Structure formats: C-alpha cells, structure tokens
Structure 1
Amino acid sequence: MEKIYEFLKKCDTYYLATVDGDQPRVRPFGTVNIFENKLYIQTGKVKNVSKQIGNNPKIEICGMADNKWIRVEAIAVEDDRIEPKRAMLEAYPTLKSMYSAEDGNTQTLYLKDATATIYSFTEEPQVIKF
C-alpha cells in the first residue's frame, strides 16, 4: 500500500472514475493519505462524485508519473470519523481554506478490496492487492 501511496503522491494529479447511472464520470483528484494503515482519499459531500460513490462505491483511479502509470480498482468506503478528516487536512493544509473536519461536508473514504497495477512500456506490470 505504501508503494501505491508514493506513486499517487508523485502523480500530483490522478483521475478518479465513478459511475453515474450508465455513464462513466472521471475527474482530477489530488488527495491521498495513509491513516490507520488504510489508503484514504478526500472529497466534499456536496459534490456529485460523493453522491455517485454513495450509489455505487466501485471506483477506479488512474495516474501517471516517471513514464509509468497506475490503475487502482477499489471499493470506496466512507469513514465519517473526525480523526481521518483531521489527518487528511493536516496532510493537505491548503484544503483548510475550503474544508474543516467539523464542517459536515468533508468526506474521507478509504480504499477496500483494492487491486493496483503499475504499468510501463519496458517492464512487466506489477500487481499489488491491499
């Protein structure tokens, strides 16, 4: 999981895909954090992405760094406790201008039953399950 975290941090921006009815939706994301040995992402509960994950928690993440790319398939599980929200906001202090752990909007989700595959043009794909 640490390798996935480091890769996504290197990407700076990665892309998260959800399903909206029968339509795929993809948008840029930038938050990733490890808390209590789980990989977390963050969004706002008022956003469409939050509603889509609520309706279908299966997500996919894709990003590229150092001429390699990653795909992560997972179930996004909401953790509404204040501790992971605080940890995320400490990891990304610039978010504090838009979110707070107590605002009722900040949503932290950890990735469950995840399979990450790291690809390159010169090496065999590397599969990591967490």
Structure 2
Amino acid sequence: MSNIEKVNEILEKAETFYLATVDGDKPKVRPLGGRVFHEDKIWFTVGTYKDVYKQLEVNPNTEIAAWDGEHFLRYYGEAVLENNEEVIAKAFEAMPEIKAIYEENGFEMGVFYLDNATAEIRNMMAIEESFEFKY
C-alpha cells in the first residue's frame, strides 16, 4: 500500500473529517465527507458557492484532521483548486443525493487536492508515520 493510500484509508474509515481554513484572521473548521481517490491523489469536494471554497481561493493553506477509531490523522498543505470533470463525475457517482441537490439548485462542485503536504498518522502520544506529498 502506498503512503497516499494509507492516508485515504484512514479518511475512508473515519467517514467524517474536519477541514480548517482561514477567514480573514479567524480560523474556520467544518466537517466534511466528500472525497475521491483518483490518480494517486485524494481529491476533496466542496461547493464553489460555499465560503470554504472562497477561503481556499484567498488562502490555500489548509489542514484536515480525522480519527478512524485507532489513529488520528493530520493532513496539511496547500489546496490546489482544479476544475477536474472526471473527479467531479466520480464524486457525483458516489454521492447521487448530492448530485441531485446541485443540479436542482444550479450549484457547481469544486474539487481540490493538497500539494506540498504532510500527513501525520498519530496515536494519542506520538507520530507513528509521517509522509510528504509534492505533486
């Protein structure tokens, strides 16, 4: 299993993870669950109409935290926002209820992955594994 697959596995087990952004000079954290593993990258999904997307456009530095019942994950780096139609199609295939809401309301799905990133897999006391990702 590759290092990025290990990170994805923790996110899959956790189901819900938490994304931190900066809004001006204030931190913002919200629960998310949308992600797609595609071409050895973990792509995260957010609506382009949401504040989170706008915050990432202004300041791409972000961190994701998750707990899978055994390990705590800290995954941080720079969000690379891309209009990747293949990833968006996979996201909507995995979440048809979200696709219906987006289509009904004319929303647009945004996707991003983390570059210049570090993933720390931790237990309660220490880092067990740490990986660097540069694309």
In the other structure, the counterpart of 2:89 is 86
Moved over 6 A (4+): none
How much does 1:13 deviate?
0.6
Matched, 1:99 2:127: no
Q: What letter is aligned with 1:84?
A: V
- Whether contact under 8 Å (1:5, 1:32) holds in the other structure is no
Q: What letter is aligned with 1:32?
A: R
Matched, 1:3 2:6: yes
Please report the TM-score for the alignment, with normalisation by the length of structure 1: 0.89
Larger helix share, 1 or 2: 2
Matched, 1:40 2:46: no
Identify if the C-alpha distance between structure 1 residues 123 and 50 changes in structure 2 by more than 3 Å, giving closer, same or farther.
Answer: closer
List gaps (5 residues or longer) in structure 2: none
Q: What letter is aligned with 2:23?
A: D
> How do 1:22-61 and structure 2 match up within 5 A?
22-61=25-64
Q: How many residues align?
A: 128
Q: What letter is aligned with 2:37?
A: I
- Whether contact under 8 Å (2:70, 2:123) holds in the other structure is yes
Please report the TM-score for the alignment, with normalisation by the length of structure 2: 0.86
- Percent of aligned pairs with the same amino acid: 36
Identify if the C-alpha distance between structure 1 residues 124 and 19 changes in structure 2 by more than 3 Å, giving closer, same or farther.
Answer: closer
C-alpha distance in structure 1 between counterparts of 2:77 and 2:98, whole Å: 24
